[in-house]
Amino acid sequence: MIKEKQSADDFRAALETIGAETVHIGLPDVEAELRHKSVSADKAVKLAQSGYAFCEVVHYWTIDEKQFVETAFPDRPAQLHADTLRKYPFEDRAAFCIADFTGAFGAKSPRNLLLTQLAEAGRLGFTVQSAFEFEFNLFDETRAEMKANGYRNPRHFAPENRTYSLQTAAVHAELIDGLRKTMAALDVPLDAIHSEMGPGFFEAPLTYTTGVRAADNAVLFKNFARAYFARKGLVAGFMAKVSQALPGNSGHMHLSLRDRDGRPAFADPDDPQGISETCRHFIGGVNRLMPELLLMCSHTVNAYKRLVPGTWAPVMPSWGVQNRTAALRVINDSPEATRVEFRVPSADSNPYTTLAMCLAAGLHGIRERIDPGPAAEGSVYDLPYVAEKALPRDLGEAVERFAASEAAHFLFGSDFVEMYAAIRRKEFQDYCGYLREISPWEIERYLGIV
């Protein structure tokens, strides 16, 4: 990969190395969906040099592409990030490149938000290593077929599937290998891929890497996995919870810090639990700010239907060593691999805002030397409920706590906080409007009885 700042000749040389005649440009919106245009290689070189412009509407519409403000919707300045150049997997002699907004408008961008927090980590003497892992559902029908059926009773792919199933892997080896090859072409390495609990459930942990590339890889995985399976006549669903009767889909994130000498900053071989003071303070910061910043990693109505007891999903700020019921699970198998697993995010989370939230809160904990308290032992679900430490119960509560959070405004800037809260507030209002409709459950329960 080449450096961010470079000449047009450098950009052209990188494209020639790939052999690209076409460049697919993806600008991530607030949901981390890549908004796409394809241009010739020559035009991409010009855009890399002179700048790229894109309509501002992607910061002013909901997930179903309905605008919630009225403006002229002009183009805003953006740039191609040349260090994200890689092969495009579905077309010969083509490349892919991430772009994002710049200048004052760029302050609203989730990716830029993350870059700011990574720079703060560097100022404190740390480099950040992280990786995401996504659980997802596969459905044996197309989006058009789902829509025609009103999205009711979707047909699951591999209905016989079992957790960590050799049979599922063997029967569907060609499909799974095709996903791996698609990601390899994109230079998004998978640490593993395996079946999960439920029909058509799979999990793909990504290989860890440094800086913004970990979030870029996660965004590319979700976008291109959906595209890959669509080309096979399937739907890949990254919803947090598709059915009350089935497990939820997580989007766990693993994170560690390295100091200026490249040593693991979360490890301390002399500590009984093998973790450093830096690690404890990082955990303290994340747990302290988690209730008011939760919107950044749980931004859909559906995400809150996964955060319930008994599902290996967190229900309160908490931490534990090798404890899968805690919000923050410390993995301390070896000093080199000591890290924190952030288990709150679901598969529908935005990797840029998720990593920015966790990193900003953790660095706050390091700066303020926040004590996380003792590690939870046993099931966190058995701990007493403490109202002031509880996570928001739904998207509406999360929006209002985030909008009122002094920490959010300080860490991420009011421009971003106000824009992000407005989008999520509209999402919750749309959901509340749906709830006013009369459901089949109500008809069956009340008609002719009350």
Say whether pLDDT at 248 is over 60: yes
CA-CA distance, 306 to 295, in Å (whole number)? 14
3-class DSSP state of 101 = strand
Say whether pLDDT at 288 is over 80: yes
Question: Residues with Cβ < 8 Å from 219, sequence gap 6 or more?
Answer: 28, 32, 34, 98, 351, 352
| Residue from 52, 56, 60 nearest 75 by CA | 56
The pLDDT tens digits of the residues spanning 196-210 come to 999 999 999 999 999
Diameter of the chain measured on Cα atoms: 77
Say whether pLDDT at 5 is over 50: no
Segment (H or E) for 329: strand 328-331
Segment (H or E) for 434: helix 414-435
Q: What is the mean pLDDT of residues 399-411?
A: 98
Say whether pLDDT at 339 is over 90: yes
- The rounded percent of the chain whose pLDDT value lies above 90 is 84
- Outline which parts of the chain fall under CATH 3.30.590.10: 119-412
3-class DSSP state of 355 = helix
CA-CA distance, 447 to 240, in Å (whole number)? 32
- Outline which parts of the chain fall under CATH 3.10.20.70: 8-105
CA-CA distance, 29 to 290, in Å (whole number)? 23
CA distances from 41 to 19, 49, 65, 224 (A): 10, 13, 29, 21
Say whether pLDDT at 306 is over 90: yes
pLDDT at residue 317, as a whole number: 96
CA-CA distance, 28 to 220, in Å (whole number)? 10
Say whether pLDDT at 91 is over 50: yes
Q: What is the mean pLDDT of residues 357-370?
A: 98
| Residue from 215, 222, 214 nearest 183 by CA | 222
Q: Which of 62-66, 107-111, 158-162, 439-443 has the lowest mean pLDDT?
A: 439-443
pLDDT at residue 6, as a whole number: 53
Q: Indicate the pLDDT class of residue 2, thresholds 50, 70 and 90.
A: very low
Q: Indicate the pLDDT class of residue 3, thresholds 50, 70 and 90.
A: very low
Q: What's the distance, Cα to Cα, between the start and end of the chain in Å?
A: 68
CA-CA distance, 406 to 289, in Å (whole number)? 10
pLDDT at residue 421, as a whole number: 97
Q: Indicate the pLDDT class of residue 310, thresholds 50, 70 and 90.
A: confident
Say whether pLDDT at 321 is over 70: yes
Region 119-412: CATH code: 3.30.590.10
- Over the chain, what is the mean pLDDT? 94
The pLDDT tens digits of the residues spanning 95-133 come to 999 999 999 999 999 999 999 999 999 999 999 999 999
pLDDT at residue 4, as a whole number: 42
The pLDDT tens digits of the residues spanning 135-148 come to 999 999 999 999 99
Say whether pLDDT at 189 is over 90: yes
Superfamily of domain 8-105: Glutamine synthetase, N-terminal domain (3.10.20.70)
CA-CA distance, 75 to 57, in Å (whole number)? 9
Say whether pLDDT at 1 is over 70: no
Tokens of residue 175, six digits: 């499909």
Say whether pLDDT at 56 is over 90: yes
